[in-house]
Amino acid sequence: MIKKMTDVSKFYKIEGDKLVRTHRSCPKCGPSYFLADHYDRWVCGNCHNTVFKRKGKKAAVGAKGKAKIARRTPRKRVKSIDN
């Protein structure tokens, strides 16, 4: 009979003689609470603290060595058609 991997063993990994956590822990609740990994964010199940993942590339550096702020293009205004 083959045993399945338990849910707890997904959160830890053994490297040599040390036990290493594979998931992030909650900054508010402490190391005993793990953050759930979603496609765009990490969420704590206890306090509902949410940490959003970064989108896109790293900030581009300008000529003066400062990071450029990526600006979105404004939305086009569309006139509504009244009948």
- Measured CA to CA, the distance from residue 59 to residue 67 in angstroms comes to 6
At 42, is the secondary structure helix, strand, or coil?
Answer: strand
Is 38 among the domain residues? yes
Give me the chain's average pLDDT, please. 77
Domain count, the chain: 1
- For residue 37, what are the domain limits? 9-52
Q: Which of 30-34, 41-45, 54-58, 61-65 is the least confident region?
A: 61-65
pLDDT in tens, 27-44: 899 988 989 888 889 999
In a domain, 2, yes or no: no
Q: For residue 65, is it within any domain?
A: no
Tokens of 57: 């590339």
Instruction: Please check whether residue 45 lies inside any domain of the structure.
Output: yes
Label residue 23 by pLDDT band (50, 70, 90): confident
